């Protein structure tokens, strides 16, 4: 098998599995229990949170563990709940993942436009930040194109607005949230440098377990509980802690940091190979993208069919976000960057990862070329 869909899911690494195993067997105790072995588990859990936080330049106490990135994104938007009587007090980038779009739309949020490059349209953002805006959500890297947004620039804009509001005696706070699910193992992330108040992390994209995520929350941000019950996670996400999951996440994030530069170099090389050996495509995500993302358009061809034809050869690729694809919806991301319907229909997303070898990349290029040629011949017949 040649797996080229690492943006959808990553296999749990052996090291991560090994680290998790004792916490499902010997060290299975509930961290809230009163006896000593449980207290040790609670301490290990806190240490793991510290490791996750450290990877983004934060402290363990600034992190809320969630059941994945969807939950973390939903939790971030509770900041608007306190004031959101009217609605319309949140802004989100139009190319965000559905877990941001859906909750933003529920709050009556307005979408910020992107440029044809996939980058945020800063002029549109500035025009939409009125005095009642409390939250702006812009992902660090897009999950369909890999586009890396200029978060630090947006962060300084938000800081300027904060100062201006203070000067004018406006008490409404303004926060910046970013979904960094796709970027965690490809960029060196630091919350202070980015100027974000909240940041979503996802273990499932970094060779950690599925259903484990985290939200970094700066001290002054007041959120409302996502779930109510035993008061875990500072009362924001009640429920017995997923100790093995969090231990696994910490191990995965440590590995990701260690391999960051090596992997980036490797993916850059693999990308070059694919771009030079593949034939008859148009590259969609030309600039400002993560090193492991390649979005190609085979105009006139149905990419959905390519997926099935490639699957027969044990090559796994995608047309866009896995969840949108499974519902047969047209990609809102490719629409937002101005692609025509036929370009969208012919677009294929390849995302590289740790399962790939150079040999596989040459083989994938050759097989994709063959499949595309056969498909073009079939259409022209």
Residue count, binding to ligand PLP (CB under 6 A):
12
Q: Check binding of 95 to ligand PLP (CB under 6 A).
A: no
93 conformational bin, left if phi > 0, alpha if psi -120 to 50, beta if neither = beta
Q: Check binding of 70 to ligand PLP (CB under 6 A).
A: yes
Give me the residue label for tokens 């402290």.
59
> Please, what's the b/e burial string for 30-69 (b: 16 or more CB within 10 A of its CB; e: otherwise)?
ebeeeeeebeebbebbeebbbbbbbbbebebebbbbbbbb
Catalytic residue among 22, 323, 335, 360: 323
Query: Per CB under 6 A, which region of 63-71, 244-252, 347-355, 359-367 contacts ligand PLP?
Result: 63-71
Q: Check binding of 143 to ligand PLP (CB under 6 A).
A: yes
Q: Check binding of 349 to ligand PLP (CB under 6 A).
A: no
Exposure on the CB side of residue 140, measured as CA atoms within 13 A = 28
Q: Check binding of 149 to ligand PLP (CB under 6 A).
A: no
- What is the rounded CA–CA span in Å between residue 182 and residue 324? 16
Query: Per CB under 6 A, which region of 64-72, 151-159, 219-227, 275-283 contacts ligand PLP?
Result: 64-72
Long-range contacts made by residues 318-323, C-beta under 8 angstroms, separation at least 24? 318/5, 318/7, 318/8, 318/348, 318/349, 318/350, 318/351, 319/347, 319/348, 319/349, 320/144, 320/347, 320/349, 321/8, 321/97, 321/98, 321/143, 321/144, 322/5, 322/8, 322/9, 323/98
Q: Check binding of 202 to ligand PLP (CB under 6 A).
A: yes
Q: Minimum CB separation from ligand PLP for residue 79, in Å?
A: 18
Q: Check binding of 139 to ligand PLP (CB under 6 A).
A: yes
Site for ligand PLP in 173-192 (CB under 6 A): 179, 181-182
Q: Check binding of 6 to ligand PLP (CB under 6 A).
A: no
Q: Minimum CB separation from ligand PLP for residue 252, in Å?
A: 13
- What is the rounded CA–CA span in Å between residue 285 and residue 16? 32
Residues for the chain: how many in total?
A: 381
Q: Check binding of 99 to ligand PLP (CB under 6 A).
A: yes
116: closest CA among 360, 343, 308?
343
Q: Check binding of 13 to ligand PLP (CB under 6 A).
A: no
Site for ligand PLP in 279-298 (CB under 6 A): none
- What is the rounded CA–CA span in Å between residue 42 and residue 95? 38
Q: How many other C-beta atoms lie within 10 A of the C-beta of residue 304?
A: 14
Q: Which is nearer to ligand PLP, 273 or 307 (CB)?
A: 307
Q: Check binding of 333 to ligand PLP (CB under 6 A).
A: no
Q: Minimum CB separation from ligand PLP for residue 216, in Å?
A: 15
Binding mask 216-255 for ligand PLP (x = CB under 6 A): ----------------------------------------
Asked about 323 being catalytic, the answer comes back as: yes
Q: Which is nearer to ligand PLP, 183 or 309 (CB)?
A: 183
Q: Minimum CB separation from ligand PLP for residue 226, in Å?
A: 13
Active site residues: 323
Chain residues that interact with ligand PLP, rule: CB under 6 A: 68-70, 97, 99, 139, 143, 179, 181-182, 202, 204
């Amino acid at each position: 098998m040649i797996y080229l869909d690492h943006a959808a899911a990553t296999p749990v690494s052996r090291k991560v599995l090994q680290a998790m195993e004792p916490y499902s067997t010997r060290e299975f105790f509930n961290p809230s229990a009163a006896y000593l072995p449980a207290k040790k588990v609670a301490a290990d859990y806190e240490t793991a949170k510290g490791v996750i936080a450290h990877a983004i330049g934060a402290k363990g106490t600034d992190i809320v563990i969630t059941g994945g990135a969807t939950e973390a994104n939903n939790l971030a938007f509770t900041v608007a709940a306190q004031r959101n009587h009217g609605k319309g007090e949140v802004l989100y980038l139009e190319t965000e993942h559905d877990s941001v779009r859906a909750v933003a739309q529920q709050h009556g949020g307005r979408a910020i436009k992107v440029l044809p490059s996939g980058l945020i349209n800063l002029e549109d953002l500035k025009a939409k930040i009125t005095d009642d805006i409390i939250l702006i959500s812009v992902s660090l890297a897009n999950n369909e194109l890999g586009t890396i947004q200029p978060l630090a620039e947006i962060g300084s804009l938000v800081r300027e607005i904060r100062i201006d509001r203070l000067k004018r005696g406006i008490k409404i706070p303004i926060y910046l949230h970013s979904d960094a699910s796709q970027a965690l193992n490809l960029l060196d992330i630091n919350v202070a440098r980015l100027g974000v108040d909240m940041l979503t992390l996802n273990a499932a994209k970094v060779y950690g377990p599925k259903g484990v995520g985290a939200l970094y929350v700066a001290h002054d941000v007041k959120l409302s509980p996502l779930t109510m019950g035993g008061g875990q996670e500072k009362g924001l996400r009640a429920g017995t802690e997923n100790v093995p999951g969090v231990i696994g996440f910490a191990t995965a994030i440590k590995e990701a940091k260690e391999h960051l530069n090596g992997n980036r170099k490797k993916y850059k090389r693999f990308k070059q190979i694919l771009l030079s050996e593949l034939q008859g495509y148009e590259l969609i995500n030309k600039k400002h993208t993560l090193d492991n993302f390649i979005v190609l358009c085979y105009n006139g061809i149905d990419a959905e069919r390519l997926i099935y034809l490639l699957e027969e050869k044990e090559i796994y690729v995608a047309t866009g976000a896995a969840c949108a694809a499974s519902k047969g919806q047209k990609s809102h991301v490719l629409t937002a960057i101005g692609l025509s319907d036929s370009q969208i229909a012919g677009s294929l997303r390849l995302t590289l990862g740790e399962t790939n070898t150079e040999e596989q990349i040459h083989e994938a290029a050759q097989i994709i070329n063959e499949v595309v040629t056969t498909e073009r011949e079939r259409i022209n017949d």
